[in-house]
Chains A and B, each alone.
Chain A
Amino acid sequence: MEDKILEMLEELCGDSVVREDVNINLLEEDLIDSLDYTELLVSIEDEFGIVMSPSEFTRDQMDTPAKIISQVKARMS
């Protein structure tokens, strides 16, 4: 699952740095914008069957690859 999410992020950001540093701040580094974020939510829903709503999290709860992975994990368990 982790790998799948990193793969999604890599494609969205167009940068493999998300794999190298899972604690990189996606917003500060300008790697992900509102449009990418919605795409990410749709991909997560398609892939894992988890509905994550756009207003569910504040941006600082979802601003690094590691945080996104742990939020998805929390929802799957």
Chain B
Amino acid sequence: MTLFGDFYFFIWAALLLVPAVVLGLTERPIKYYGAVVTAVFIYMAMGSSPKAIVNLIVYCLYQLILVNAYLSVNRRKPRNGLLYWVFIVLSVAPLGIWKISAFVTGHGIFAFLGLSYLTFKSVQVIIEIYDGLIKEVKPFDFLYFLTFFPCLSSGPIDRSRRFEGDLERRISRAEYAELLGNGLFKIVLGMAYKFALAAGFYQAITWLGSGGHMINHLVYMYSYGLYLFFDFAGYSLMAVGTSYILGIKSPDNFNKPFLATDMKDFWDRWHMSLSYWFRDFIFSRFMMKAIKGKWFKNKLTGAFVGFIINMGVMGVWHGLDIYYIIYGLYHGVLLAVTEIYQKKSKFHKKHKKERWYRFISWGITFNLAMFGFFIFSGKFTQLIGLNG
């Protein structure tokens, strides 16, 4: 069974979510039942590979021990830079080992469904302990946060303090009814996105996107970009909708990305839980250090480096293949250039609110984003002979 992917999942979800709805409408806490449903779905999704389940359990316990160890270390030596980095490295280590071993040997050590996304959730807890924002970690809440099945395999990436706030909050019947309505709507919309629209664009890629002509490549590029959007946005809508039914307001992942009028705006709308994670935990922190330490003479040079590092790491997170790295750097450069242009250009400042200017900006942004997906697909590097 595949989460949000096949008929059996939806049948089981329809059955297993009914008690959650009853709990919600009678104003009782859903979290313990939600944890049971999560365990059932993890078993069904990963049951064919017992090794993966063992890896997931080992991973979760390892991270639980790590955050608790760091809590007590940070209490004794608050905001110690070296210890902070030691724990960051330990927290990212399982993902690093898997990515590198998969890249080198073709089959990774310590793989399981959701490892990439779980890493974001684990590392941010370490970072927020360092910041003094997290002072205690409750084992049940932490494990439920990590494994919460709607967001397990592909996000959206939630924040632990927000998630735990939802677990503790009492939801009134009226509020739950609204949550349920919105949740069901998101699930239905997500199904239409993923199983109708994305599937349609996939056919376009298959039938019209192959062949050696320029026109084939263009069809491939645009239909791949749209396929990626409807597939992933559809998946995210279903995940968020299912979260709502379990009383968890998981963050939205997409907000009409193809209406963006510049690249910064695009990343405010595309895979938002990921780009906000990078903004809050990498870009902002790098920039704050750089500003405080006066690493760069010019503020915009610092921003340029910051964007490239930020998006470069984002690219590597997708995989060590050359096209993911180029994809990350491509977006890093675009963001940096956008930042400098918008801060420096008098032309931009003068016209930025005018209709024609916004229209042209939109057209450029849309095409730059589509070309980004073309790189992401691996097709671009294949065409220029870089895939090896």
Q: Which A residues contact B (CB, under 8 angstroms)? A: 30, 33-35, 37-39, 41-42, 45, 51, 53-56, 58
Known: A38-B291, A45-B292, A55-B280. 7 other contacts (CB 8 A): A34-B264, A35-B299, A38-B287, A39-B299, A42-B288, A51-B131, A53-B128
Q: Is the CB of A34 within 8 A of B283?
A: yes
Contact check, A54 vs B291: say whether CB atoms are below 8 A apart. no
Q: Across the interface, which residues of A come within 8 angstroms of B292, CB to CB?
A: 42, 45
Most chain B CB inside 10 Å of its own CB: which residue of A30, A51, A53: A53
Question: Is B284 engaged at the interface, CB distance under 8 Å to the other chain?
Answer: yes
How close is B179's CB to chain A, nearest CB, in angstroms? 19
Task: Indicate if the CB atoms of A30 and B288 lie closer than 8 Å.
Answer: no
Q: Is the CB of B291 within 8 A of A53?
A: no
Interface 0/1 of B289-313, CB less than 8 Å to A: 0011000000100010010000000
- Shortest beta-carbon distance, B26 to chain A, in Å? 30
Residues of chain B with a CB closer than 8 A to A35's CB: 287, 299, 303, 306, 339
Tell me if B's interface is mostly helix, strand, loop or mixed: helix
Nearest CB on B from A56, distance (A): 6
Q: Is B98 part of the binding interface, using a Cβ–Cβ cutoff of 8 Å? A: no
In the complex formed, the residue of A with least CB distance to B280 is A55
Contact (A55, B281) CB under 8 Å given A33-B339, A35-B303: yes
What residues of chain A lie closer than 8 Å to B162, measured between beta carbons?
Answer: 58
> How far, in Å, is B144 (CB) from chain A's closest CB?
20
Looking at B127, B288, B352, the one whose CB has the most chain A CB atoms below 10 A away is B288
Contact in complex: A41, B284 (CB < 8 Å) = yes
A55 adjacent to B127 (CB under 8 Å): yes
In the complex the two chains form, what is the Cα distance from A53 to B289 in whole Å? 12
Q: Which residues of B contact A37 (CB under 8 A)?
A: 284
A32 CB → nearest B CB, Å: 12
Q: With contacts A30-B352, A55-B124, A56-B131 known, is A38 near B288, CB below 8 A?
A: yes
- Shortest beta-carbon distance, A43 to chain B, in Å? 9
B14 vs chain A, min Cβ distance (A): 32
Nearest chain-B residue to A30 (Cβ)? B352
Within the complex, what minimum Cβ distance (angstroms) separates A2 from chain B?
23
- Closest chain-B Cβ to A18's Cβ sits at a distance in Å of 16
Alpha-carbon gap, A39 to B299, bound state (A): 10
On whether the beta carbons of A41 and B288 are closer than 8 Å, the reply is: yes
CA–CA, A53 to B162, complex, Å?
A: 15
Whose C-beta in chain B lies nearest to the C-beta of A37? B284
Cα distance A58–B280 in the bound complex, in angstroms: 10
A58 to chain B, nearest CB (A): 8
Interface centre among A35, A37, A53, A54 (most CB of B within 10 A): A35
Which residues from A are CB-within-8-Å of B352? 30
Q: Which 7 A-B pairs have the closest CB atoms?
A: A54-B284, A55-B280, A53-B131, A38-B287, A38-B284, A42-B291, A54-B280
> Out of B124, B132, B279, B281, which one reaches A34, CB within 8 Å?
B279
> Closest Cβ of chain A: how far from B362's Cβ, in Å?
15
Give Cα A42 to B292, complex, Å: 7
In the assembled complex, the CB of B311 is this many whole angstroms from the nearest CB of chain A, namely: 12
Chain B's nearest CB lies how many Å from the CB of A15? 10
- Tell me whether A34 and B133 are in contact in the complex, defined as CB-CB below 8 angstroms, given that A42-B291, A42-B292 are known contacts: no
List the B side residues contacting A33 at CB < 8 Å. 264, 339
Across the interface, name the chain B residue whose C-beta is closest to A39.
Answer: B291
B329 to chain A, nearest CB (A): 19
CB neighbours (8 Å) of A45 from chain B are 292
Q: Which residue of A lies closest to B124 (CB)?
A: A55
Q: B108 CB to closest chain A CB, in angstroms?
A: 29
Give chain B residues whose Cβ lies under 8 Å from the Cβ of A30.
352
Q: Complex formed: what's the CA distance from A41 to B124 in Å?
A: 19
Which of chain B's residues have a CB closer than 8 A to the CB of A51? 131-132
**Measured between C-beta atoms, what is the minimum distance from B259 to chain A in Å?**
15
Find chain A residues with CB under 8 A from B285 CB: 54
CA distance in complex: A30, B261 (Å): 12
With both beta carbons as reference points, the residue of chain A lying nearest to B292 in the complex is identified as A42
CB-defined contacts of B284 to chain A, threshold 8 Å: 34, 37-38, 41, 54-55
Bound together, the chains give a CA A28 to CA B254 distance in angstroms of 17
A42 to nearest B CB, angstroms?
5
Question: Counting CB contacts under 8 A, is B159 at the interface?
Answer: yes
